[in-house]
Structure 1
Amino acid sequence: MTGSSKQLIYKYLLLLFCFCPGTAASAGQAPITVELLEQGRTIYNYRCYFCHGYSGDAKTLTSTYLTPPPRDFTRTRPEDLSPETMIEVVTAGKPGTAMHGFSRLLSRHQIAAVVAFVRDEFIDNQRINTRYHTLENGWPDHDRYSPAFPFATGSIPLDTDWAQLTPRQSRGKRLFLTSCISCHDRATVKDEGQIWSKQSISYPRNNYSHTIIDAVSSASIYARHDISPIVEHLSAEAVKGEQLWRQNCAFCHAGDGTGENWIGSFLEPKPRDLTEASFMRAMTRALLLRRIRVGISGTSMPAWKDVLSDNQIHQIISYIDEAFHPVRQQ
């Protein structure tokens, strides 16, 4: 950590601790401790990694669906992003992006801890955060997956021909495809062909299944929600909306519109269930249009006005109306 950025965090945390009941800090104590940074790591690995990535580089499947994409902390210079600004954004969110405020989920101390961790780990020192796979996170023996590590890190492209792999690498590829791909997605591929196109899907790909339920494979219980309903005689408008839904909306709201997919289970508040009658009865096309265009503050629902035209949003609403629940005209 550089001296200037560390001093800024020290000053903020000192003020923070002085105004937090029951927390003591003296001039002779450095507010940033190993314990504080580890607390920040724990929060980051649970709340932040999904968009910003375990190593802060935003190389996540989520980022491919968001405009603007999440910040890449590894490319952020300390002088370009102050601790005060980071604390403000984590607390209140950033309008026009998918970054929502965490003031209702995290205390001021916890927000300060995660900001201190991000600056120390990614911005100042650009370390690789490898400590997500811990016992607390459901990984009692992560090293058993070691043959798959080269595919997760991208050192071996996932579409490498099986004939070119050693027996250990072949075992690692199978392991990656059956366990790791739920979170790490495709990792790295040599050929960006049609098979690697973005898909709104949140469980192990390519018909691989699991026989043992663990921290990763349990994601497959959400698989049925990623299947879009079969609706006969969709209008031409809704047919176009269905494609837009799958490309842009199903990632969070699930293919069936319930928000009960694996991705949705990580978000707080949860994505809206568009099949819920009590909610949809009060929803109009105009209100849906506005919420999709400008987003919803305090949630993970971003503004789509710079990504989708009003006509495309109307097509999505038509699909919602015909596939999930009728939408009132006014």
Structure 2
Amino acid sequence: MKQVLEGVKILDLSRVLAGPYAAQNLADLGADVLKIEAPWGDDTRGWGPPFTTGFDGGDVAAYFLSCNRGKTIIRMNLKEDGKKLRDLVAQADIVVENFRPGTFDRLVGELPDDTILCSISGYGATGPRSSEPGYDLSLQARSGIMSITGEEGRPPVKVGVAWIDVITGLHATSAILAALLHREKTGESQRIDISLWDCAISALVNQAQNKLASGKDPRPMGSAHPNLVPYRAFEASDGWFVLAVGSDSQWQRMVEILEIGCPESWSTNSGRVKERIGVERTLSKIFKNNTRSHWEDVLEGIPCAPVNTIGQAICDIQSVARGAVWSVKGVQTLANPLRGMSLTPAKPGQPSETSFNLNV
């Protein structure tokens, strides 16, 4: 089947996660991705355990497999093989790199007029921190996300996955596709300057907006929500589950199901936010009396879910039904979430015109 980016050549000079993840997204869409590694390989090849069999049959850290599917990989010394590097750049439609700002220009020099360059760095090509290295953890700390993650009064906690790297990879994918469309329409190439810092600040969304509106810094609230109640984890008789009441109508339905007698002030979200402690204590006493599955059944239609392990999530009936895990050359990897994408068909009801690249 036809693939959306079939025929598009991408040179992936990036390492670790954000850049490789962006290039993998494009590979999944059918792009021909050539990844260049240093002679000793990408750092993440050694980021284990666990180690497993890679796409090429050799041992590699599972981390590396999570963001390098669908690529042809070669190793070379970029400083010693400058001419070969420039030749590869000249053949590419898109180059993805995450060296420190200025390094790529020193290695390659002037870009071909039609080459799209996506440069990913910790803090961007401009500004007083542009030369500083940026790993996900340091960005989580400096961006403020760690100040609102975890429990109040406890040591700072990071998000359990390299969150800023992942969202930066997604933003980079979006920017590259926009630049590719722009080139198709105008013939003009683009230089994309994207940083983990910009993406981290942008992803603070409502928490940053709350600060701008109120002047008050948000605080860590565990699993609770600063603007919604009840919206947090509760303990059932057999473990933890979350309840996410997002509207007054959902609240009213839950009150009727649980037969809760509560003050009129709790009928609105703003009232519940003001009386958060009372609302949460009332529900906590109720939820301890039965199992998570019981509450999930009883509260059908009201957003709630058990706090799963990663293994439970991957094996969930929804993951199985949606094909959340791909098998690529005998290696299991997480599926691209855009796997259901289709080009607009000529008329409704026709089969999808596109597919994902699993021939890797």
TM-score normalised by L of structure 1: 0.24
Q: 1 or 2, which has the higher helix percentage?
A: 1
Q: 1 or 2, which has the higher strand percentage?
A: 2
**Structure with higher RCO (Cα < 8 A, 6+ apart):** 2
